[in-house]
Amino acid sequence: MTAPTTIRALTVAPLDIPLHEPFGIASGAQEVARNLLVAVELTDGTRGYGEAAPFPAFNGETQDMAHAAILAARSLVEGADVREWRRIALALPALPGMTGSARCAIETAILDALTRRARLPLWAFFGGAATSLETDVTITTGSVTAAARAAQAIVARGVTTIKIKIGAGDPDATTIRTMEHDLARIVAIRDVAPTARLILDGNCGYTAPDALRLLDMLGVHGIVPALFEQPVAKDDEEGLRRLTATRRVPVAADESVASATDAARLARNAAVDVLNIKLMKCGIVEALDIAAIARTAGLHLMIGGMVESLLAMTVSACFAAGQGGFRFVDLDTPLFLAENPFDGGMTYHGGTIDLTLIEAGHGVTPRSPAL
């Protein structure tokens, strides 16, 4: 007899959500979140949902690539028992064309079904350390005027940490002078938000010498960032190590840490102070391994995401709050989306993310039956 916890079906559908304005980073911008909604259904009718949020400007992964990878996983997932979630997750990377966001979506849907059926909130499944987090809000690449205006709006929301995307240059200039433009943007933000904690995110846009020069110029203005995230190219581990060794500011790896193997190498080589975990880079099971490596090595933890809806961001919030110990939280992209196609999940109160309304699973359900 088939167990009620058997996965009867795995389905996937496009989840295209427009943004209020382009989400720009050093390597490109996104005007529409071209994501995917994944659902698993158990034989007892329980449904679990996951989201894939590929971000081509970040790592080259596209919606079509993630879609194909999810379809390729059907033979592995359908007929499996949801209680064997870790075994399923560990088998995903070996499938042809598997991507990080596809792994995340499938693992999320499976864990959501498991914990919904058990009437267990996902934050409790991950450890129950906390039910709230304090997130930053991001100012994406753009002009000095737009940066100052965005900072004013962020402060008005009651948010105390601002993350600044840098490294893209001036979109209005005929000759791009990246460092000078970034300096002007950061100073303008500081001027309208003098008490805010500032995080710089280079998204691979700087070299180590230029990153140090930027810090020197910021110092002239009395600005010391709380964190410098991925200032240099993904494969420039020596550049990361050089910046970290100066002890000027804490340095975080993002693009450079997409697996537990990456995390172990960065920790062993003292290349960074902080590891930015994004479930979309590697899925949940491997993200748990990265967190364990960071704790063992004495590195600090950051939780972030791609351009994700409330569904995926709620899962990341449950992951971080449930385990505890995340010093930096960057879970703001639902605020950039022009639509929310879901009910339930986490809620924002200024910079506070509240998970207390979640009663089972991640608590997010599509509003449309077509999803």
Q: CA–CA separation, 335 vs 188, rounded Å?
A: 22
* Interstrand relation of 197-201 and 161-165 (parallel, antiparallel or unpaired): parallel
Range 332-351 average pLDDT: 97
Q: CA–CA separation, 71 vs 105, rounded Å?
A: 12
Q: Kindly tell me if the per-residue pLDDT of 174 is higher than 50.
A: no
Range 238-266 average pLDDT: 98
Sorting pLDDT into bands at 50, 70 and 90, what band is 27? low
Q: CA–CA separation, 236 vs 140, rounded Å?
A: 23
Sorting pLDDT into bands at 50, 70 and 90, what band is 159? very high
27 and 56 belong to one structural domain: yes
pTM, full prediction? 0.95
Structural domain harbouring 105: 7-119
pLDDT per residue as tens digits for the range 88-146: 999 999 999 999 999 999 999 999 999 999 999 999 999 999 999 999 999 998 899 99
The H or E element spanning position 293 is helix 284-297
264 and 333 belong to one structural domain: yes
Residue 2 lies in a domain: no
Tokens read off for 145: 């005027």
Of 137, 142, 136, 185, the C-alpha closest to 25 is: 142
pLDDT of residue 263: 99
Tokens read off for 148: 């100052």
pLDDT per residue as tens digits for the range 160-172: 999 999 987 666 5
The H or E element spanning position 310 is helix 310-323
pLDDT of residue 175: 41
The SS3 call for residue 229 is strand
Q: What share of the chain is helix, strand, coil (3-state, %, to 5)?
A: 40, 25, 35
Contact 33, 66 (CB under 8 A): no
166 and 313 belong to one structural domain: yes
CATH number of the CATH domain containing 175 = 3.20.20.120
Runs of H (alpha helix) within 118-201: 122-125, 144-156, 178-192
Residue 77 lies in a domain: yes
pLDDT of residue 118: 98
Residue 371 lies in a domain: no
Average pLDDT, the chain: 95
